[in-house]
Chain A
Amino acid sequence: MIPSSPLLPDQASDVARSVDHLMLFALSGLVVFSALIAILVLVFMVKYRRRGDDEVGIDVYETNPKSHVLELVWSVIPLGLLLVLFGWGTKVFFDQNRPPAGAAQYWVTGRQWMWKIQHPDGRREINELHVPVDRAVQLRMISEDVIHDFFVPAFRIHVDVLPTRYTTYWFKANRTGTFHLFCGQYCGVEHSKMVGHVIVMEPRAYEAWLAGEKTGPSAIASGEELFVAKSCNTCHRPDSSARAPILNGVFGTQVSLNDGTKALVNEDYIRESILNPAAKVVAGYQPVMPTFKGQISEEELIQLVNYVKSLKAASVTTAEAGK
């Protein structure tokens, strides 16, 4: 199932191709410079081999005024090439790390020693990620314990999965196939078993796969249930901001905080506000919210984040209508 080539791993995205081109450029630099040094060393070794016990070398540095020019030349040329490599590498790195707008949102939870994956429609899987081809996919990742790392060689990008905040990984597969998924950061005893596959499918096959499997409620729906079950809705009411801020439409906006600073309401802010509510309290409110640290799993947090994210401004009844 997994085709192997002798020198290059599978290339399954446009970004992967650009990484290979960059590598080829760097490699040709390596070959040229190594060959230059090796040839010079070998030629000199033979040409200037010692021919008598009393023979000494000729110091050309002090006698030749061009020596300093030579030093300058072999400092500046490598510096120039290094800066080219730096610029090119940085451009590729930005491509590797900045997802295009409208990428499909998947969620990944890492733990010793498995990957748990949640699709936009609520479908979940373990150690396997099915995705449609030619579609930009963004993974928002969190760890339940130690640092892990999401690594798919076919996409040529690693991203660490942290226990402190969400990190993101994106790719747009340009061919179907099954590709290795590795944990790329040493994470304990069974690190080398924290592996799986990314399975890239034709869109129609992907739809069929989704339809053919039992699908739970979507992350938003699960989050809505939790929002009620954990009694979030008793204070975060859509119709009154007496005790806690209204959450509708708040995602993606800047809010003013008690200490006079501002914060962007994003996934990390929502997660932090559930686990450590006193950290960034919205201006005008008391830090009365209890912490949910230790009472809620990362997957439940993901569902709540999804739910809060889905709350549109003025859609007053999303939570109420459910009851």
Chain B
Amino acid sequence: MKTTRRTLIAALGTLLLKPLAAFAAWNEQAFGAKTAADALKTLGASSPAASKDIVIEAPQIAENGAVVPIEVSSNIPGTSSIAVLIEKNPFPLAGRFEFKDGALPYVKLNVKMGETSDVRVIATAGGKHFAASREIKVTIGGCGG
């Protein structure tokens, strides 16, 4: 291929875009939502159906709100994503995990909790949304970290 100004500009553009394209965008709107309901609306999951096939493993009482371990898995066939929301945090949406072929719909993470709150987990399977929640009591809030 002959190097013309046009191909050079195109090549340069590809180079500049590449680091960005390597990662999915960050959903500023959903993460910036101040209520769980607003966050869910932004994610297109306004009225999820309650499901017993979402398993949330977490302590009933977290002494330190700065590090609350939460383990989530979905037994709903075809689960493609899991979102974790902490209802009473200033910004409830804590994370959203997309599972492709080869990954199990499972994640364990540590989160900060400002106060005692329901933790709501939304699993998406075949375009449908399912929810489960669990209350975690927090003795010392952990949003200052």
Q: Is the pairing of A and B real?
A: no
